[in-house]
Amino acid sequence: MNLWHPVEQSVWQGRDDSGEAANALRVFQTLTNTGEFAPQQHRGKVALLGFECDEGVKRNLGRAGAAQGPDVLRKALANMASHAGHEQLVEMGNLRAQQEQLERAQQALHDAALACQHAQMRTLVFGGGHETAFGHGSAVLDAFPHERVGIINLDAHLDLRHAPYASSGTPFRQLALHCEAQQRDFHYCCIGASRAANTQALWDEAARREVTVIEDLSVLNAFDAHVLPEIERNIVSYDRLYLTIDLDVLPGGEMPAVSAPAALGIPLCLLLRIVEPLCRSGKLQAVDLVEFNPAFDNAGQGARAAARLAWQIAHWWQQ
- Binding residue numbers for Mn(2+): 130, 155, 157, 159, 246, 248
Q: Is 159 left (phi over 0), alpha (psi -120 to 50) or beta?
A: left
Residue 7 to residue 90: CA distance in whole angstroms:
12
**At CA 241, angle to CA 172 and CA 1, rounded to 5?**
70
- 266 close to 249: Cβ distance less than 8 angstroms: yes
Contact of 170 with 161, CB cutoff 8 Å: yes
Which residues does 255 contact at the CB level (< 8 Å), separation at least 6? Answer: 247, 248, 261, 262, 265, 302, 305, 306
DSSP 138-156: HHHHHH-TTS-EEEEEE-S
User: Residues comprising the binding site?
Assistant: 130, 155, 157, 159, 246, 248
| Helices H / strands E in the chain, number of each | 11, 9
Count the neighbouring beta carbons within 10 Å of the beta carbon of residue 145.
9
The order of strands in the sheet holding 212-215 is 4-5, 89-96, 46-52, 122-127, 284-290, 240-246, 149-154, 187-193, 212-215
Q: Among residues 251, 226, 240, which one has the least CA distance to residue 285? A: 240
Q: 287 with 127: CB under 8 angstroms?
A: no
Distance CA 272, CA 223 (A): 12
